[in-house]
Chains A and B, each alone.
Chain A
Amino acid sequence: MADQLTDTPAESTSSDSEADRVTGAAILRVVDLEVHFGAVRAVNGVSFEVQTGTAVGLIGPNGAGKSTALKAVGGETRPTSGRVIFDGIDLAGRPSHVAARAGMIRTFQLGGEFARLTVMENLLVSVPRQRGKSIWGALGGRRWWGAEDAAEIRRAREILSRLELREKENDYASDLSGGQRKLVEIGRALMARPKMLLLDEPMAGVNRSLARHIEHALSALRNDGLTLLLVEHELGSVERLCDRVLVMAGGRQIASGHMGQLRSRQEVLDAYLGGR
C-alpha cells in the first residue's frame, strides 16, 4: 500500500526532502493566535511554526481548540487577533478561498465532502485555474476546455489509484463509508496542487485497516515533501507521522516536542486526564 503511494517521481528525491526537513524555512508562522466566541476563548494565544516539508501534529483533549485553531489558520473562522503568515503572506482574517489559492488546503473533521457529486467530480472541483471554470471559458464549450479537463481527469485517476479509490470513481460521495470520504477529501486536496495540508482528524471514526491506509497515504505525501499540519486523537499515528507535536488544552498551547518525549511529560498527561 505504502509502496504504491510512494511510487511517484518524487520518490527519488525523498532524500533531498529529508534534508529540507532539517534545514527548510518555516512555510507557516502562527503568531499569538486568538479566537473568541463571545466569552469562550476557544484559542487563547497560540504561536508556532511549521517548517517546509515537515509534518506537525496538533493534539489535545476534546474542546481544546484544535479545530478552531485549524479553521482560523485556514481562513474559515476569523481570528480575533494574531497573525497567520503562510509562504510570506499574512492570511489572518482572509477568507478560506484566499488561503486555498495560496496553497494551503484544509480538510474537515466531519462532512467535508460534496455529497451529491461523484468521487471523480469531488476531485475535479478543486483543480485550480482551470480554463472551463470561468464563465467565458465555460461558454467557449468543450473544444476550449475539454483537453485540459481530460488531462485533469487522468491526474485524478492516478490520485484515486494511489488512494485505492479508483473503482469508486463514479459513486456519489454520499454512498461511501466515513473513511472513504476522508480519503476523497485528501484526494480532492491533492488535486489543488497544495503546498500544505491542514488535516482535521483524518483517521477519526474510521475502521482500523482504513485508518492505517490513510496513515500510510499521509506518510507517503510527507515523504514526497508536502507539508502537513495534522489534528489527530490516535496518538500512535501521530507519533509515526509527525516530526513535531504541539499539545493544546483549554485554548492554550501547553507543550511541544517529539511525541516520544511528550508522553512522559506530566502537564500533557494532566491535560488529557483532566480534559476527559
Chain B
Amino acid sequence: MAYYLLTLAVYVVVGVIACWGLNLQFGDTGVLNFAYILFVAAGAYTASILSLGHPNSSSYQHYFWGAHMPWPIPWLAAAVVGGLLGLLVGLLVLRRLRGDYQAMVLLVVSIMGSYIVSADPGFLNGGVGLALIPQPFKGVLHLSQVGYEVFYLALALLAAAVVFEVVRRIHISPLGRVLRAVRENEAAAAAVGHNVAAVKLLVMVIGGAIAALAGAIEVQFIAAWAPAGWDYTETFGLFAAVIVGGRGNLGGVALGALLVQGLFLEGTVLLPNIGNPALIGAIQWMSLGALILIFLYFRPQGVLPERRRTYSSDITTRRNRMAALPAALTRRSARG
C-alpha cells in the first residue's frame, strides 16, 4: 500500500507540474494549446535517450541517438527541448492564425506527432515505445523499493518547487498582468503596446519547457514511454484539472491536478473489478467529460477561482500579510 501511495504521489506531483505549465498558457494567457501532451512526450523521450545510452547498447529497441548522462542533465535537457519545441510550434501556429484555428491546428499537430513517432520504428522505437529507461542514482543508492520511491518523490518535489517559484514569480509580476490582458482582450493589449504574438510565443516556450520537465520526471519513474501513453486525449485530462481546480490560481490548479490526475484518473484503478478492463477506461473518459461539462456550466471559475489582485496603498502592509502565511511560503517570498 505504501508503495502504491508513493507511486500515486509521484504521479500527482508530475500532474501538478504539468498543470502549472498549462495554466500559464491557458489559465493566464488564454492560449488553447491542445498539443500540450506533445511537449510532455518530447521531454519524456529526451530524458529517455539521454539516459539509455548509445543506441547500439541494446538490440531490442531502436532510437536515432542516445547518450548516458547523469541526473539532472536528462531533466534539464528535456526542459530545453520542450522550450525549443514551443518556439517552433509557436512560430508555425501562433503568428498568423486566429485563436480558435490555433487550437485546431495544435490538436492536429499533436495527433501528427503521435503518428510520426508510431510510424517510424527507427526514430523512437515506434509504437512499442522505449523501455528499461534507467532511473537516477538507482544503481548507487542501494535502497529498498519503497526507499527509492521516497527518494524519487523528493527529487520530483524539488523540481516542483523550482517550477512553482518560476510560475509564481511570473504570476505576481507586471508580466503576469500582461498575460491576463492578452487573455481578456488581444486587440486591446496590442493597442496599448504589447506584441501579442510574442507574448504567446513566450508562454509556449516556458509552458513547453515545464511540460517537458514533467514528462522527464514521469518517464524516469515509470521507466517506459510509448505513443499510447501520450494520446491527444491526455491533454484534455490536464485541461480538466486546470478548469476544475481554478484557472489562474496556482493553488487551485494544484488541487485540480490532485483531484483529476490523482483521484479521478489513477484512483479509479482502485475500483472493484467490474469485469471488462476496457470498460474502466471508457468510464474514466466519460466521467471526465461530464466533470468538465459540469464545471463549465455551474462553476467555470473552478474550485479555487483566480484571485482578485488588490494593491495596498502601503507596501509594508503586504509584507505583514506575507508574514501571516506559513513559514515556508514566507521564506520563499523573502528570497523573491
Contact = CB atoms under 8 A, between A and B. Distances in A.
Interface of A: 74-76, 95-97, 100-101, 105-108, 111-118, 120-122, 124-128, 130-135, 137-143, 145-146, 149-150, 153, 157, 169-170, 172, 188-189, 191-192
A76 B190 contact: yes
B174 A132 contact: yes
B175 A138 contact: yes
Contacts of B313: 157
Contacts of A134: 175
Contact of A133 (B175, B206, B309, B315): B175
B172 interface: yes
Interface string B170-210: 10111111101100110111111111100000100010000
Q: Which of A75, A106, A189 has the most CB of B within 10 A?
A: A106
Interface in B260-303: none
Contact of B174 (A113, A138, A170): A138
A189 B178 CA distance: 15
7 A-B pairs closest in CB distance: A126-B192, A141-B336, A138-B173, A100-B193, A132-B174, A138-B175, A114-B184
Contacts of A116: 180, 184, 306
Contacts of B311: 120, 153, 169
A141 B181 CA distance: 20
Contact of A125 (B189, B195, B308, B333): B189
B192 A118 contact: no
A172 B184 CA distance: 12
Contact of A170 (B196, B310, B315): B310
17 contacts: A97-B191, A97-B194, A97-B195, A100-B192, A101-B193, A108-B188, A112-B188, A113-B188, A116-B306, A121-B177, A121-B180, A125-B192, A133-B174, A141-B169, A170-B308, A172-B308, A192-B193
B315 A150 contact: yes
A97 B193 contact: yes
B196 A97 contact: yes
Nearest to B173: A138
A97 B181 contact: no
Contacts of A75: 190
A169 B170 CA distance: 22
B305 to A, nearest CB: 10
Interface in B305-336: 306, 308-311, 313, 315, 333, 335-336
A197 B131 CA distance: 61
Interface majority SS on B: helix, strand, loop or mixed?
helix
Nearest to B196: A97
Q: Which of B192, B194, B308 has the most CB of A within 10 A?
A: B192
Contacts, number: 127
A115 B184 contact: yes
A145 B174 contact: yes
Interface in B124-165: none
B188 A142 contact: no
B204 to A, nearest CB: 12
Contact of B184 (A95, A117, A192): A117
Contacts of B190: 75-76, 95-97, 100
B193 A126 contact: yes
Contacts of A125: 177-178, 181, 189, 192, 194
A170 B306 CA distance: 14
A74 B188 contact: no
A125 B206 CA distance: 21
B200 to A, nearest CB: 13
A145 B172 CA distance: 11
Given A97-B196, A114-B180, A150-B315, A105 B173 contact: no
B166 interface: yes
Contacts of B196: 97
B308 A133 contact: no
Contacts of A115: 184-185
A135 B175 contact: yes
Contact of A117 (B169, B180, B336): B180
Nearest to B172: A142
Given A115-B184, A117-B180, A124-B177, A139 B166 contact: yes
Contact of B187 (A76, A137, A145, A150): A76
Contacts of A128: 193
B217 to A, nearest CB: 21
A145 B166 CA distance: 15
B185 A118 contact: no
Given A115-B185, A138-B169, A141-B169, A105 B177 contact: no
